[in-house]
Amino acid sequence: MSAQAEGQGLQQKSKRPADSAFKQQRLPAWQPVLTAGTVLPTFFIIGILFIPVGVVLLYFSDEVSEHVIDYTNCNKIDQINLTCAQYIESNPSSRCECQINFNLTNDFNGNVFMYYGLSNYYQNHRRYVKSRDDDQLLGRLSLTPSTDCVPFAYTDEQVPIAPCGAIANSLFNDTLTLHYGSEEVPLLNTGIAWKSDKDTKFHNPPGNLQTALRGFAKPKFWKKELWELDQQNPENNGFQNEDLIVWMRTAALPSFRKLYRRVNHTAPLFTEGLKRGIYTLKINYQYPVTAFDGSKKMILSTTSVLGGKNPFLGIAYIVVGCICFSLGIALLIIHLKCSKSTTEMINVNPRTPYS
């Protein structure tokens, strides 16, 4: 009995896998054989598909009208030899006014949008991206802001800041207005943020906003209180101010543009867009960028069914399609001149003479 029990114990301790097709690796296998007959058609198909798609994307991109004005070094209105950038650098807490005349050579038909563009501005820096308090932005105010907001969580007097963090503190605050002759182009500052952001990620605290923010200070860089950001439209104040919401969605690249305004096409002169002619861009210059070798731009643009002007995607499709088509032709020529038959390739063994 002891020998039999010992034998059963050995059988129980065996680590041999079960005798199944899966565990004994007897399942049927398939491995692709890459031959000219399978690879060459792939190159040609990619080329035939990508080139027309790239042409269509490039066509829609070219349909977008766009005009870019770099106003980084515009001259102060009352001093021709002094730029606003130099003036702001020597007077950090002040503002500067400048204007630029430009000519639209073509009509901008359809909906027209105004963007501001910044370059060499790294909103994608890890510490910058996380420097915010999402509970604050949802209207859940606390006298102890998130530690992610440091060093923009408290004032020097240890008063909590709302909204706190580096992103909110660096809010873009230039004021841009556009004039067509003696008429000011009507611009709307609503409808510029993502609806999902405004409905989900940003809420004002219940009750009166100014009362709810009692005991909090505005960010150090700001010149207006949170409830004063839009004096003409009270519903666009507080954490639901759309300029703030647009800015808080950080950019992935150091050169970026953000939607600033949209033209009000209900005004009589601008129902169909912007007419060609001489325009004047007036800037209330406050945002410093020369310290980090940055630049500021104003962009006027229409849109297409695929969005704004972006020729890169169309060019990329065309280039990839042309490369694949060229490789297909080159490999086809090599195959016709130098290749062996498929049967000969399959029957190759170590003793097959090299020739």
Dist CA 53 CA 253 (whole Å): 26
Residue pair 241/234 in contact by the 8 Å Cβ criterion: no
The amino acid at 307: G
What is each CA distance from 276 to 8, 9, 103, 192, 243, in whole angstroms? 95, 94, 7, 24, 28
Q: 99 pLDDT exceeds 90?
A: yes
Confidence at residue 173, expressed as pLDDT on a 0 to 100 scale: 94
- Of 120, 136, 137, nearest to 193 by C-alpha is 137
Dist CA 262 CA 300 (whole Å): 9
Q: Mean pLDDT, to the nearest integer, of 329-351?
A: 74
Q: Which residue has the tokens 């991206």?
A: 129
Relative to beta strand 295-301, strand 175-180 is: unpaired
Confidence at residue 341, expressed as pLDDT on a 0 to 100 scale: 61
Please write the tens of the pLDDT for every residue from 145-177: 999 999 999 999 999 999 999 999 999 999 999
Lowest mean pLDDT among 90-94, 105-109, 145-149, 164-168: 90-94
Please write the tens of the pLDDT for every residue from 169-213: 999 999 999 999 889 999 999 999 999 999 999 999 998 999 999
Q: 253 pLDDT exceeds 60?
A: yes
pLDDT band at 8 (very low <50, low <70, confident <90, very high): low
Can you count the helices (H) and strands (E) in the chain? 11, 11
The amino acid at 89: E
Q: Where are the domains of the chain?
A: 37-64+309-336, 66-302
Please report the DSSP string for 95-127 in residue order: -EEEEEEEEE-S-EES--EEEEEEES--TT-HH
301: Cβ contacts below 8 Å, ≥ 6 apart: 64, 65, 66, 67, 112, 113, 115, 308, 309
Please write the tens of the pLDDT for every residue from 285-317: 999 999 999 999 999 999 988 888 889 999 999
Dist CA 60 CA 257 (whole Å): 20
